[in-house]
Amino acid sequence: MRTVTDKHRQDSWNIEGGGALAVDPHDLREPLVEGTPKPADVTETVSRVVESKPTRLWYATVTVTGALAGWGILTILYTVFTGIGVWGNNQPVGWAWDITNFVFWIGIGHAGTLISAILFLFRQKWRTAINRAAEAMTIFAVICALIFPIIHTGRPWVAVYWLLPLPNQMEMWVNFRSPLLWDVFAVSTYFAVSAMFWFVGLVPDFATLRNRAKNKIARIAFTFFSMGWTGANRHWHRYEKAYLILAGISTPLVLSVHTIVSFDFAVSVIPGWHTTIFPPYFVAGAIFSGFGMVLTLMILARKLLNLEQFITVKHIENMSKVLMATGLMVGYAYGIEFFIAWYSGNPYERFVFINRAFGPYSWAYWTMVSCNVFIPQLFWFRGIRRNLLITWIISIFVNIGMWFERFVIIVTSLHRDFLPSSWGMFTPTWVDVSIFAGTVGLFLTLFLVFAKYLPVLAISEVKGILPGAQPKHGHH
């Protein structure tokens, strides 16, 4: 039996009964941080990023992503002043890139709350190193998502009457029977709760930064946002309570948002849309795509911000496993949908699925299947799960695959109407491409600003998982 003296714990935590800390020889739990950093090291590492001047690389990247976002805004203005006829949408493909992008971004926004809420309830301590960044990503992704339905209304300045049930003299009411309206409620609730959850988690870290701030503006800002946090016992007690309650509230939201999004399609009678597996299948897909994006960003961020000690290969491996599990769930849904399309005996159902796989959009279908089902199978190998470069490349494929999943569901189901005389094809215009690229730029810009000016790691939470921070009983 290996026994280590946990000197650091005795020194800085003064937990009753400190001393020899027994380590199980078969301890299957890999440490969540590398080395033996002190709590002060965590503060130092994370705060240094916030307090130092932005690097040239940061300026260069923000310029590129900001330009992309600016181009997106210009093309949005062009759309609004000209009309949404500048998009590729047509009859019968009345929904296309707009809602594809909406669902794509909403899906990306699922990892953050899953990590901060569901993994918290599942007592997955490895979540602490990635939850802050993932929650930020969630909020930015939802912002990007919200752009599409709003501009698709054509006249966003009156959309408030179409999206919210506001009493008005025109006696114009929203359609309560439409899942699109429930989307408004579901997504705005999700956005509000996610933002609140994120903010509550940030409060103790704001206080840390406030105490360290040398610059006047930073001190005023951090003082304001830390809301008088002193780190008193009572503050921590209430903080933990609030965190648990927010986790409880957020958990059903993780499921409800994409369930409602799936209803946008599944309540219709369109073959390929109307199928009962949609709600959990969409939720699994959302988590899959969300983790794909977290991996894409965090593998880079941990390197650039020198956080390898806290976001370890173990974290990357765990996320790869989540990616594989949810990818298989999505694959299961593809398979069952295909089987039932045959089993139903309904020629329209059957046609849609054969058309998806072998029709004019088969290239999109097989891109989706390859990226979402075939390629993530590489994660069966431990060596690949722990290889950062390969994992990063696979995560990019997942991002691509999940965009194509929404494209395939939406466009292939619409482009072949019940009557062959109403068949058509969809081709995106340069405006479609520009607005989507613009949201990518906006998302990355917001993330870069976050990564520079706010603590990317939850400082106080990571301190809680340092070796020795958890009182261990039952000495062997």
Partner 1 sequence: MAALDSQTYTFTDKGRFGVIALGTGIVFTALTVVGAFTDSHMFFASWLTSFAFWTTIVLGALFFVMLQHVTAAVWSVVTRRAAEALALALPVLLLCFIPLTFGMHDLFHWSHAEEVAADHVLAWKAPYLNTTFFIVRGLVFFAVWIALAFVLHRRSVAQDTDGDVAHTYALRKISAGGIFAFAFTVTFAAFDWLMSLNPHWYSTIFGVYVFVGGFLTCMAVLLLIFQMLRRQGMLEGVVTIEHFHDFGRLLFAFTVFWAYIGGSQYYLIWYANVPEETVWFLARWDNGWKAVSMALIFLHFLVPFLTLLFYRVKRNTVLLRTIASLLVVMHFVDMFWLVMPTFGPGVHFSWMHLTSALGIGGLVMWMFWTRYTAHRAVPASDPKLADSIAHRV
Considering only residues 99 to 128 of the shown chain, the ones binding partner 1 according to CB under 8 A are 123
Q: Write down the least CB distance from residue 274 to partner 1, Å.
A: 5
Q: Write down the least CB distance from residue 340 to partner 1, Å.
A: 5
d(CA 106, CA 97): 14
Q: Segment near partner 1 (CB under 8 A), from 102-110, 265-273, 304-312, 414-422?
A: 265-273
**Does position 217 bind partner 1 by CB under 8 A?**
no
Considering only residues 352 to 381 of the shown chain, the ones binding partner 1 according to CB under 8 A are 380
Binding mask 28-57 for partner 1 (x = CB under 8 A): xx----------------------------
Q: Write down the least CB distance from residue 229 to partner 1, Å.
A: 27
Q: Segment near partner 1 (CB under 8 A), from 51-59, 139-147, 269-277, 440-448?
A: 269-277
**Does position 472 bind partner 1 by CB under 8 A?**
yes
d(CA 437, CA 380): 33
**Does position 216 bind partner 1 by CB under 8 A?**
no
Residue 6 backbone phi and psi in degrees, to 5: -90, 80
Nearer to partner 1, 212 or 274 (CB): 274
**Does position 280 bind partner 1 by CB under 8 A?**
yes
**Does position 26 bind partner 1 by CB under 8 A?**
yes
Binding partner 1 (rule: CB under 8 A), the pick from 39, 154, 156, 279 is: 279
Binding partner 1 (rule: CB under 8 A), the pick from 255, 297, 408, 444 is: 255
**Does position 351 bind partner 1 by CB under 8 A?**
no
* Cβ atoms of 63 and 393 closer than 8 Å: no
Binding partner 1 (rule: CB under 8 A), the pick from 161, 332, 348, 374 is: 332
d(CA 85, CA 82): 8
Q: Write down the least CB distance from residue 283 to partner 1, Å.
A: 9
Q: Write down the least CB distance from residue 252 to partner 1, Å.
A: 8
Instruction: Write b or e for each residue in 234-249: b if 16 or more Cβ atoms lie within 10 A of its Cβ, otherwise e.
Output: ebeeebeeebeebbee
Distance (Å) of CA 420 to CA 423, 434, 468: 5, 32, 69
Q: Segment near partner 1 (CB under 8 A), from 220-228, 304-312, 337-345, 397-405?
A: 337-345
**Does position 2 bind partner 1 by CB under 8 A?**
no
Nearer to partner 1, 136 or 284 (CB): 284
Nearer to partner 1, 279 or 359 (CB): 279
Q: Is the dihedral of CA 165, 171, 172, 177 positive or negative?
A: positive
Q: Segment near partner 1 (CB under 8 A), from 45-53, 168-176, 264-272, 306-314?
A: 264-272
**Does position 268 bind partner 1 by CB under 8 A?**
yes
**Does position 337 bind partner 1 by CB under 8 A?**
yes
Q: Write down the least CB distance from residue 332 to partner 1, Å.
A: 6
Tokens 């619409």, located at residue: 414
**Does position 473 bind partner 1 by CB under 8 A?**
yes
Nearer to partner 1, 126 or 198 (CB): 126
**Cis status, amide bond into 156, omega within 30 of 0:** no
Binding partner 1 (rule: CB under 8 A), the pick from 82, 230, 344, 422 is: 344
How many residues touch partner 1 under the rule CB under 8 A: the total is: 37
Binding partner 1 (rule: CB under 8 A), the pick from 269, 383, 420, 421 is: 269
Nearer to partner 1, 38 or 472 (CB): 472
Query: Which 3-state string (H, E, C) describes the chain?
Result: CCEEECHHHHHHCCCCCCCEEECCCCCCCCCCCCCCCCHHHHHHHHHHHHHCCCCHHHHHHHHHHHHHHHHHHHHHHHHHHHCHHHCCCCCCCCCCHHHHHHHHHHHHCHHHHHHHHHHHHCCCHHHHHCHHHHHHHHHHHHHHHHHHHHHHCCCHHHHHHHHCCCCCCCCCCCCCCCHHHHHHHHHHHHHHHHHHHHHHHHHHHHHHHHHHCCCHHHHHHHHHHHCCCCCCHHHHHHHHHHHHHHHHHHHHHHHHHHHHHHHHHHCCCCCCCCCCCHHHHHHHHHHHHHHHHHHHHHHHHHHHCCCCCCCCHHHHHHHHHHHHHHHHHHHHHHHHHHHHHHHCCCHHHHHHHHHHHHCCCHHHHHHHHHHHHHHHHHHHCHHHHCCHHHHHHHHHHHHHHHHHHHHHHHHHHHHCCCCHHHCCCCCCCHHHHHHHHHHHHHHHHHHHHHHHHCCCCCHHHHHHCCCCCCCCCCCC
**Does position 419 bind partner 1 by CB under 8 A?**
no
**Does position 314 bind partner 1 by CB under 8 A?**
no
**Does position 222 bind partner 1 by CB under 8 A?**
no
Binding partner 1 (rule: CB under 8 A), the pick from 150, 196, 277, 449 is: 277
**Does position 170 bind partner 1 by CB under 8 A?**
no
**Does position 276 bind partner 1 by CB under 8 A?**
yes
Fill in the amino acid letter for 131. Answer: N
Please report, as ranges, the residues that interact with partner 1 according to CB under 8 A.
Answer: 24, 26-29, 123, 252, 255, 259, 263, 266-269, 274-280, 328, 332-333, 335-337, 340, 343-346, 380, 472-474, 476
